[in-house]
Amino acid sequence: MAAPTPSSAQDLQPGDERQELPAFRSETEGERQRSPLPEVPPFEPEPARPGDALPHLMRPESGGTGALEAGARIEIREVRISGNTALPDPALRQIASRYENRPLGLAEIEALRDEVTRAYVDRGYVTSGAVVPPQSLEDGVLDLQVVEGTLADIEVETDGRFRESYLRRRLARAAGSPVNVASLRERLLLFQQDDRIRSVQARLLPTDEIGKALLRVEVDEHSPFVASLAGNNYTTPSLGEGSAEIGLGYGNVTGFGDAVFADYRWSPGLHDVRGSYDIPFTDWDTRLELSGRATWAEIIEHPFDQLDIESETQSYAVGLYQPVLRSAESDVELFAHGEYRRIKSFLFGDPFSFSVGPEHGVAKLALLRAGAQWTHRSARVVWAVRGQVTGGLDALGATRNSDPSVPDGRFVAGLLQLQCATRLPWLGLQLLARADGQIADDPLLGLEQFSIGGRYTVRGYRENQIVRDNGVVGGAELRIPVPAPRIGDWAPRLALAPFYDVGYASNNRRDPFPRGEDRVLESVGIGLLMEIVPRLDFEIYYGESLRPVRQSGEWSLQDESVHLQLRWGFHGWPLPWP
């Protein structure tokens, strides 16, 4: 997240008479909507849990060859198969052709029936099969009928808040008609991966009616209540780097998979409040998200604290999400957001613009964002990729400027994020790699610029050390497990994390930092990660900056290239204390 920093002011050159005011930014400005990608496991990627296999059903019995006595054979010139919708005719004709224009006995007819049934079973249709209806066979034509299985009913038992209808509709859609056990098993695995579900037990049972099956599912739920507490120095020092965060959420408000979350972040110069509500409203898991955010920031770092520099920021968004591919290993999701953002800055209590673009200290943006996200998980690797295009619209009073070199609310920007975590075959090592990049066609207002520096971009520098229109940042981190002494029945997990980070940023048609070295940050360092007890984590990173930058203002821990956090997360009610 971006914030007002004295370091964002132009560096003084020999002969300068006074230091210029910083290009004031609120804590939300440099965030650039770089949404967090799916969290990778702390030490090694975990494969999807296998879930419970669904049993095969008994095949329908044959009884239509009464015209054949034991040991008798009859010339069959044609095999006609009917009733098939799931498998195409050519696939079944390939089987049937091997039994045509030859004499067949009971054993061969049974073998044909079994082959057709096996073709269905091999493709996941375990409740489907072939039967031989009563017939004379006098004309040399053998009729084979496929009975494609369906679900007579779905019985769902759950011990939590999920509505049975919510689960039943998704199971019915996954099972399909005819029932495909592979698709059904995939849906059960997706349920099993849901953080709100502890376990899923499923049984597919035959009924008295041929081709009908009963699906019985038992769901054991986690409590939908989640909360977290954290203390860290991940805020820019101009607002007071020591910050505290609290987050609360309820993951299943009405029983239809909807979730509400809120969090609050505090530092001596910052109050940041966010909230969201997310609800799926179709059986295809189309989701609607409503979110809002408000930030109040004040520069408290000397010497700028004497100027009473403050800002107020509000953001409101409506988003739609549509999964287009979902499996236990991979997800592809499309999304579109409409968003309104507004920031107002003050000097000595009066509206004031600290950079070109805002009018009387006020900048407004009406935004349309659209993109896609892909994630892939396996036993050894986790991938996450997100692409997004943002368009600034001339609507809702968005800031406008006639000079093309002056930022305003009309622009197009593209953002690409990549992340990978892979388990190496030696000593439990894990390698993490990440990269973010943004490119814009016009100068941007601070709310949409790309920031570099700090814990989640280039460690070893202040948060938001460089803030520009375009930028790219990347890094790699090796996590090395370290044995730790046991605490009672618990063995803490430790890992050393050497890393390398680098970032580059530039402006469109303007750049207050003409020197090339001011556009690049680069560092190497090491971190220590520790799960002290269940749900209580600590991390500390030290980064050695390879490209020194000049700092103004007071001393901070970030100036010593140190980033640290203590975080406690819990799931369930009452609160499970460590």
Which tokens is 324 given?
Answer: 């287009």
Q: How many CB atoms lie within 10 A of CB 341?
A: 25
pLDDT, residue 355, reads 84
Q: With the C-alpha atoms ordered 132, 56, 176, 206, is the resulting torsion angle positive or negative?
A: positive
pLDDT digits (tens, 9 = 90+) for 383-397: 999 999 999 999 999
* Whether the Cβ atoms of residue 344 and residue 351 lie closer than 8 Å to each other: yes
User: Given a cut of 90, is residue 279 above it in pLDDT?
Assistant: yes
Looking at the chain, how many residues does it have?
578
User: How far apart, in whole angstroms, are the C-alpha atoms of residue 100 and residue 95?
Assistant: 10
Reading the block at residue 370, the tokens are 């659209």
Helix axes of 89-96 and 106-122: crossing angle, nearest 10 degrees:
150
CA distances from 47 to 54, 184, 376 (A): 20, 19, 11
> What is the reported pTM?
0.83
Share of the chain above pLDDT 90, in %: 67
Q: Regarding the domain delimited by 74-125+128-147, which CATH topology (the fold level of the hierarchy) does it fall under?
A: Ubiquitin-like (UB roll) (3.10.20)
Model confidence at 403, pLDDT cuts 50, 70, 90, reads: confident
Asked if 471 and 503 count as a contact pair (C-beta separation under 8 A), the reply is yes
Task: Answer whether 7's CB lies under 8 Å from 454's CB.
Answer: no
Of the listed ranges 107-121, 232-246, 481-495, the one predicted with least confidence: 481-495
**CA–CA gap between residue 475 and residue 480 (Å, rounded):** 17
Query: Is 7 or 356 the better-scoring residue by pLDDT?
Result: 356
pLDDT > 90? residue 53: no
Spelled out in words, what is the top-level CATH class assigned to the domain 6-12+20-49+223-571? mainly beta
List the chain domain ranges: 6-12+20-49+223-571, 74-125+128-147, 150-221
| Euclidean distance between the first and the last CA atom of the chain, given in angstroms as a whole number | 31
The pLDDT > 70 percentage for the chain reads 85
Other Cβ atoms closer than 10 A to 149: 26
- Of residues 306 and 371, more confidently modeled: 371
What CATH number was assigned to the domain covering residues 150-221? 3.10.20
What pLDDT shows up at residue 481? 95
pLDDT tops 70 at residue 183: yes
Nearest-10 crossing angle of helices 181-193, 164-175: 140
**Equal CATH topology for 74-125+128-147 and 150-221:** yes
Decide if pLDDT at 8 tops 50. no
Span 298-333, pLDDT tens digits: 999 988 888 899 999 999 999 999 999 999 899 999
Listed residue (191, 274, 264, 229) closest to 570, CA to CA: 229
Q: What is the pLDDT of residues 153-176, one digit of tens each?
A: 999 999 889 999 999 999 999 999
* Residue reference for tokens 């935004």: 367
Q: How confident is the model at residue 516 (pLDDT cuts 50, 70, 90)?
A: low
